[in-house]
Structure 1
Amino acid sequence: MEQKTSKVVVSALLAGAFGAVACHASRTCRYLPGDAGWPSQAAWHQLNNTVGGRLIAGTPLGRPCFEPDLNAAECAAIKAEWTDLHPFIADPVNVMSPYWMNNSCDPFYGPSGTCKLGSLAVYAINVTNAQDAVAGVRFASANNIRLTIKNTGHDYLGRSSGAGSLALWTHNLKDITFLDYRSADYTGPAARLGAGVEGTDLGPVAAAHGYRVLGGSCPTVGVAGGFTQGGGHSPLSAKYGLGADQVLEWEVVTADGVHTTASASQNPALYWALRGGGAGNYAVVLSMTVKAHPDGPAAGAGFLIVNDDDDKFWAAVAAWLKHLLVLDTLDGYMTAFTITALDFALDFALLPDAASVDDITAPLAPFFAELDELKVTLAQSRASVSANYADWYETWAAPITYSTNNSIGGRLISRSAVQDRLPALVAVFRDIAEYSAAEVGGSALKGLAFNVTSARVGSAALPGADAVLPAWRDALFTLNFLIPLAEDADWETINSGQAWINDKQDELRAVTPGGGTYMNQATWDNPNWKEDYFGSNYKALFAIKAAYDPEDLFWADAAVGSDVAWVRAADGRLCRPEANT
């Protein structure tokens, strides 16, 4: 019943969407430090008092590597950890993407030179409660400064940073509560997760309560942040759907500084938009309540194929992609794989509730038989059964390492692309994999295959049920590909890599017509971003954005409404498009 209400609200909003967006504030640009309108130190001091002393000045991680703040010991430690995720996750303003750090105080460029904040936030509020977020929203709005939201900083679209911004740092909202949930649409076990909860926080707690709750493949991804708000793929997606499909309600602070709830019965349009319509663009999320699923055993499997003959190797890759069409029919069966020019690895397969190793290996047997026909030998193969999902995760997913120093692009690969255009698809894969920069090694393609159609995961995946990009329901797997970057990669190298990724996204688009891209693993400057990241949902999302944020307090590249709200000027400030004409 609430689903029908949401559609009515969305339809009503569409009628006045474009008129609403025209009602901008009179000020044409956001202020930067040094402007006459920038808040005084007394104003910042008052904000700090309001949030209980939790206002933090933004500081680049690499600053101790530059004069006049040079500290050799600290600098050495920073350099040693520069490609690790954790220093960025634990910092209120620094982010993982080299592009959005834009060489701000790269520690390998010191000790001479200039160390500036660049696109990093000037201040951050360590948000510990709703009142902190309300204060930050109202301060940014009243003082005409940019507002950003950072949780972990797993972000390639630049949503977690911004020149001259005040950041709401939600990383320390770590509460996890299990409850019995009742509504017109769902009655059963649920979990309320603070915005800062990461997968590594969630898994053991859920297991201790006898449940599985969806989180990302990477353990440090914030579950309630861009992960779920952007759609959210999980090893459990083939069993239960995407992260956005799980959400029962959101706790939010809206652009007018109101602390409220968005659910199927309260603020239903906002509830709909947050479930897949993109993060940091409609409201500040403080927590979300999601379905919890009964736990049980889980089986895993993996293998490795080494490329010792190009023709045979790529024939094996083609055979795998074709075999995914078979695995796609099996309830709960998912796979995660990596392809480079050197090897092809099944990083892990998951089959929840499997009783034995045979349950997960038997579906792979036909593929192994085809490898024999191709005279391709497995270099490694393994399988196991874990007592519960958390144990499976620690065995199979958690050991995979992730680096900050890369640029990334992606595409959803439809079933029809594999069925009808397999040779062309494999040719693009090979082109991407064989790209290499001698100093950093070749690029890698990473795929995750799972069935998230409504036939598999139920009514949550029906057309229009949430704001998830519709192409997800036609996808056989999601693909991302990345270029590793050297620790001291210069700005020209980072920019040229970004351009190369966009070119390859175009090649993939040509062999996957009508498809899309998982927005959380994509480029900010893709000229087709509206179609690729939002599809047919864009118009409805635009109306909801206009209704809940008419003065565009929230803004990010490649976000709904971003192209008509603000543009970045040469100095990094946000200005109205008409101010740049």
Structure 2
Amino acid sequence: MSASRRILLTSSIAVIFAIVVRVSLSPSPSQCRVIPRDAAWPSTDGWDSFNTSVGGKLIATIPIGAPCHQIFSSGSNISTYDQAQCDALRNTWFFPETHLVSSSSPMAYQFGNNTCNPWSSSDTPCILGGQVVYSVNATSYVDIQKAIQFSEQHNIRLVIRNTGHDYLGKSTGAHALAIWTHYMKDIKLIERYDGKNYSGPALKVGAGVEGIEAYEFASANKLMVVGGNCPTVGLAGGFTQGGGHGHLASKYGLSADQVLEWEVVTGTGEHVIANSESHPDLYWALRGGGGSTFGVVVSMTIKAYPDTFFSTAYATVLNDGTNTDALWEAVGVFIKTLPRLVDSGVYVVWVAVPFGFLLMPAIGPDLHQNDLDELLQPFTDKLGELGLQYDYQSWEKPTFLANYQSLTASWNVSDYNLGGRLIPRSLIEENPQAFTDAVRFIGSQTIISGVTFNVDKGVASPNDVAVNPYFRKALMGISLGTSVDYTNWTATLNGQDIITNVFLPKLAALAPQGGAYLNEADFQASDFKSLFYGPHYDKLSHIKSIYDPNDIFYARTAVGSDRWFEDAEGRLCKV
């Protein structure tokens, strides 16, 4: 665990609404970004002038947890307490919608550094901690250009934020200015996109378009697009730039495989279109090389496919304390069925927890209900043979959107530390018992989930896109979590360490030359360059040096992040 995570920031961030109070006049350290207490931090007039230049779109951060605290410590000690608002916040804290409307609140609670915690004592002052100081509510590429220019001129840390769905702390940062792209919502149908490698329907989506918005628009035009599972994930942001998988992955590949072109503002402020013919290196890098580091995406154009019918299945088997061995014998059979399932185009999500095993769900595009039932029959037959009580449901829907809307609607995003690993198909084919044993070890103590797919044919060659080529060998991405304890920060930090030092090594030992899906991985991974990016890292680093030569863009575990570190007070400095 890095020192910047472990130390609770106690110094006041001197900002309230559009006012910045410089606490001291000490010079900023050499090779570091400036912070509010530095003499080089912009004056109030400087921020006012910048706000005018972006049409009044500058937002000063007040953490959304402020109503749970008597004082927002901003140099002015403003009272923010409202018990009714606090109670309402606590009831909805765990869901994306609570954070979507905020320009600063990290959905992954830990990256706020436990400051302004809604569950801490109301007498504890609310401070910014790991959250950004200001955000620009960008609605055009010009707003983005001006934010980059201001950040570079004043040597201020810059953060790119869309929805805030982020398990690696990329969408927030202490003492930073954020470019908030959430309201860039334009969607356009291109009935026939004619490009070098694709001719057919496409959608052009703004940086702020969420998955459900793209799904609804596509459905209205009898089409569907490759997106994520959670409806509020931003399609063009870190999701696709990090690879991106969802219900159509086993049929069409990763989201990154679908991109036809990007509209981008680079680190030099240049507004460019990147595709296979114009800026092809940037086009390649953004297709899976990670978000928040090469440029700010304004829009993305992706392939669209004719809509079709879907089948879906759910299953639940509870562990009652007397059936544990039988349950895991059945899970072993389920795991052996996965290659055949994904080769039939099915996308499978399963979860193991101390109280049981859940299939939630298996989704088959162009697959009838009875066909999906048959594919899962070895598992259900084994459950019956072992005398295990289980619940199984399946159905068929006529369109992608109808099927999507039939799925579980609640998406809890803030309750867990996270880590992950890609599991190669060869492991399941050659030694499924070893994998089952590892899942049982982890699942008996905490939550572990497997998202299963076949994306081998998403592109002609694994090197056609920047996604770690190991993805094409993978049968599934494993995600595992330990509970966040909002009343015990030390326990929360220890939970992440258990993921890093106990649970993930169990999986790594089975595939020591493996990889991880960089959107659902362990941000503490010391080998993130090889684990997240594989053999592409050096090429990606070179491309970054072309489009962001001054290292304006930084994000944890992103390409080029190894050239920076965060000190004890969250200041970003060159290594």
Give TM-score scaled by structure 2 length: 0.91
- 2:36 aligns with 33
- Per the TM alignment, residue 458 of structure 1 is displaced from its structure 2 partner at its CA by 4.4
The superposition leaves residues 141-163 of structure 1 with CA deviations (integer Å, 9 ceiling, x where unpaired) of 11100000111111111110111
Pick the aligned partner of 2:358 from 328, 342, 345. Answer: 345
8 A Cα contact 1:96 1:405, kept in partner: no
Q: 1 or 2 for the larger relative contact order (CA 8 Å, sep ≥6)?
A: 1
Q: Residue 187 of structure 2: which of 151, 173, 176 is its match?
A: 176
1:293-308 correspondence to structure 2 within 5 Å? 293-308=305-320
**AA paired with 1:316?**
A
Give the AA of the match of 1:407. Answer: N
Checking the alignment, whether the CA contact within 8 Å between 2:108 and 2:413 is kept in structure 1 is: no
Q: For each residue in 1:17-67, what CA deviation from the matched residue of structure 2 results, as whole angstroms up to 9, or x when unmatched?
A: xxxxxxxxx951100002000011111111111111110001111112212
3-state SS in 1 of match to 2:537: helix
Per the alignment, residue 126 of structure 2 pairs with: 115
Q: Partners of 2:555 and 2:124 in 1: how far apart? A: 29
Deviation string 1:349-391 (CA, Å, 9 cap, x unpaired) is 111123x3212212112222233333334x2111111110000
Tell me how many residue pairs correspond in the alignment.
535
Please give the alpha-carbon distance, in whole angstroms, between the structure 2 residues aligned to 1:403 and 1:518. 17
Query: Residue type matched to 1:475 in 2?
Result: A
Counterpart residue type for residue 268 of structure 1 = P
Aligned partners of 2:468 and 2:482: how far apart in 1? 25
Q: Is the 8 A contact 1:62 1:75 kept in 2?
A: yes
8 Å Cα contact 1:58-1:93 kept in structure 2? yes
> Which residue is equivalent to 1:576?
574
Structure 2 distance, partners of 1:123, 1:422, is: 50
1:334 to 2:347 alignment: yes
Per the alignment, residue 6 of structure 1 pairs with none
- Aligned partner of 1:316 in structure 2 is 330
Task: Report SS of the residue matched to 2:569.
Answer: coil
User: Secondary structure at the residue paired with 1:273?
Assistant: helix
State which of 80, 100, 104 in structure 2 corresponds to 1:93.
Answer: 104
Contact 1:89–1:95, Cα closer than 8 Å, also in 2 = no
Tell me whether 550-559 or 129-138 shows the greater mean CA deviation: 550-559
Distance 1:73 1:463 in 2: 53
Structure with the higher fraction of residues in helix conformation: 1
Paired residue for 2:382? 370
Deviation at 1:226, TM superposition (A): 0.9
> Which residue of structure 2 lines up, in the alignment, with residue 206 of structure 1?
218
Partner of 1:146: 157
Matched AA of 1:513: P
Contact kept? 2:141, 2:298, Cα under 8 Å: yes
- Which residue of 150, 171, 179 corresponds with 1:160? 171
CA contact (8 A) 2:419 2:523 kept: no
* Most deviating of 100-109 and 401-410: 401-410
Quick one: which amino acid aligns to residue 284 of structure 2? W
2:439 equivalent to 1:426: no
Gaps of 5+ in 1: 1-25, 436-442
Give the Cα–Cα distance (whole angstroms) in 2 for the partners of residues 403 and 253 of structure 1. Answer: 29
Kindly, what percent of the aligned residue pairs are identical?
Answer: 39
| Equivalent of residue 450 in structure 2, options 447, 451, 474 | 447
Which residue in 2 is equivalent to 1:225? 237
**Which shifted more, 400-409 or 367-376?**
367-376
State the match for 2:517 in structure 1: 518
In the TM superposition, 1:423-572 aligns within 5 A as 423-435=433-445, 443-454=446-457, 457-459=458-460, 462-486=461-485, 488-503=486-501, 504-564=503-563, 566-572=564-570
Instruction: Kindly provide the amino acid, as one letter, of the partner of residue 208 in structure 2.
Output: G
Unaligned runs of 5+ in 2: 1-28, 71-78
Q: Which deviations, in whole Å up to 9, do the C-alpha atoms of 1:5-25 show, x marking residues without a partner? A: xxxxxxxxxxxxxxxxxxxxx
Note if contact 2:346-2:364 (Cα within 8 Å) is conserved in structure 1.
yes
Given the alignment of the two structures, is residue 399 of structure 1 paired with residue 409 of structure 2, yes or no? yes
| CA distance in 2 between partners of 1:328 and 1:117 (Å) | 45
CA contact 1:48–1:55 (8 Å) conserved in 2: yes
**Paired residue type of 2:39:** A
* CA distance in structure 1 between the aligned counterparts of 2:94 and 2:53, rounded to whole angstroms: 36
Provide the secondary structure at the position in 2 that maps to 1:192: strand
- Contact 2:313/2:363, CA 8 A, preserved across alignment: yes
Q: Is the 2:515–2:531 contact (alpha carbons within 8 Å) kept by the matching residues of 1?
A: yes
Three-state SS of the structure 1 residue aligned to 2:106 is coil
Task: Provide the rounded CA distance (Å) in 1 between the counterparts of 2:566 and 2:293.
Answer: 16
Q: Per-residue deviation at 1:400? A: 4.4
- Counterpart of 1:409 in 2: which secondary structure? strand
CA distances 1:231-276 after superposition (whole Å, capped 9, x unpaired): 0011110111000000000111000111111111111111101000
Q: How far apart are 1:561 and its partner, in Å?
A: 1.7
Match of 1:495, SS state, is helix
The aligned counterpart of 2:61 is: 58
Q: Look up the equivalent residue of 1:100 and give its one-letter code.
A: F
In structure 2, give the amino acid aligned to 1:473: R
SS at match of 1:189: strand
State the match for 1:411 in structure 2: 421
2:45 to 30, 42, 47: 42
Q: Report the Cα distance in structure 2 between the residues aligned to 1:528 and 1:489, rounded to whole angstroms.
A: 31
User: Whole-Å Cα distance in 2 between the matches of residues 568 and 357 of structure 1?
Assistant: 52
C-alpha deviation, 1:165, in angstroms: 0.5
1:274 maps to amino acid: L
2:142 to 107, 131, 140: 131
**Partner of 1:326: helix, strand, or coil?**
helix
Tell me which amino acid in the other structure corresponds to 2:137: N
Mapped to 2, the partners of 1:323 and 1:423 lie a distance apart of 13
Post-superposition Cα deviations, 1:337-358, rounded to whole Å, max 9, x if no partner, equal 111121111111111123x321
> 2:330 aligns to what SS in structure 1?
helix
Show the counterpart of 2:22. Answer: none
Distance 2:538 2:158 in 1: 24
Amino acid at match of 1:320: F
Residues in 2 aligned to 1:82 and 1:101: alpha-carbon distance in whole angstroms = 14
Maintained 8 Å contact 1:303/1:347: yes
8 Å contact from structure 2 (residues 96, 411) kept in 1: no
